[in-house]
Amino acid sequence: MFPVFLLEDDDIQRQHYKTFIDNGIMINDAPMVLKKAVATTEELFTDDLPEQGLFFLDMEINDNKTAGLEAATKIRHQVPLAQIVFITTHDELSIVTLERRIAPLDYILKDKGFEDIKKRINNDIQLVQVNIEKYTHYSQNLFGYKIGERYFSIIMDDVIMLMTEKNAPGKITLIAKNQRAEFIGSLNGLEKQYNNLFRCDRSFLVNLENIRSFDSSKKELTFIDGSTCKVSFRKTKELTEKLKKL
């Protein structure tokens, strides 16, 4: 489910917005869930942020006029695909969101009243729902990974292989056409997540589209960048059948 977050320090307003969000999700039958409705930025960041999400942020938190803005800057840095909506009385700060390149989805003014806020929240949920459908289609052609607190993605066509080494358990090396990266993860998990990649050996998950040749006698794959990897005996037949279909 696509996660939704709410940051609002006023208890009454937070309860209203929470109701608007829950109702908007239900009315639109959106694949979303309100994960957090909190009063402070500390509560918002107690857990690692997801790869994507919809964030409704009050601009002023506990007399700090730019607390929501600072939270949005952090969110945008860690979650490039985040959808951010400000709910605020400070219309004069809208220009600052441009200067900081936060690129909010919406900027809702509290002065318009609860009915307008409810309508805008519902519209934002509808828009994000459309974006989710587009992203789901697009993400099938992307490979995503996380280093520290930041998420990265590359075109699946550029992925050559993913590999692990015995002396570095839990660490995965990504080899792509124009880059190389290391991140924490599991080949088993990635194999389940990306069914267009082929597990040719316990230590290798490969993109068959980027194979140059397969030496069946050596049980060795050669890729378009000249790199190679071994193929286990039990995977040889399955690999041969898949290569015939390419």
Domains of the chain listed by start with CATH number: 2-139 (3.40.50.2300), 143-245 (2.40.50.1020)
How high is the pLDDT of residue 137? 59
Mean pLDDT computed over 80-105: 82
How high is the pLDDT of residue 99? 72
Confidence of residue 63 (pLDDT cuts 50, 70, 90): confident
Reply yes or no on whether the pLDDT at 98 is more than 80: no
Mean pLDDT computed over 124-143: 80
Lowest mean pLDDT among 84-88, 165-169, 189-193, 198-202: 165-169
Q: Which residue has the higher pLDDT, 126 or 167?
A: 126
Reply yes or no on whether the pLDDT at 135 is more than 80: no
| CA 53 centroid distance within chain | 8
Mean pLDDT computed over 118-147: 84
Reply yes or no on whether the pLDDT at 230 is more than 90: yes
Q: Which amino acid is at 146?
A: K
pLDDT (tens digit per residue) in 15-39: 999 999 999 999 999 999 999 999 9
How high is the pLDDT of residue 87? 94
First to last CA, the chain: 34
Report DSSP letters for 107-135, one per residue.
EEEGGG-HHHHHHHHHHHHHHHHHHHHHH
In angstroms, rounded to a whole number, what is the distance separating the alpha carbons of residues 117 and 19?
11
Mark 66-80 as b/e (b = at least 16 C-beta within 10 Å).
Answer: ebbbebbbebbebbe
How many C-beta atoms surround the C-beta of residue 52 within 10 A? 19
- Closest by alpha carbon to 40, among 55, 20, 60? 60
As a whole number, the mean pLDDT across the chain is: 91
CA-CA-CA-CA dihedral for 14, 16, 19, 23, to nearest 10: -130
Torsion sign, CA atoms 129, 131, 132, 134: positive
How high is the pLDDT of residue 100? 75
**HSE toward the beta carbon, residue 94, CA cutoff 13 A:** 12
Order of strands across the sheet that contains 32-38: 32-38, 2-7, 54-58, 83-88, 106-109
pLDDT (tens digit per residue) in 103-116: 889 999 999 999 99
Confidence of residue 136 (pLDDT cuts 50, 70, 90): low
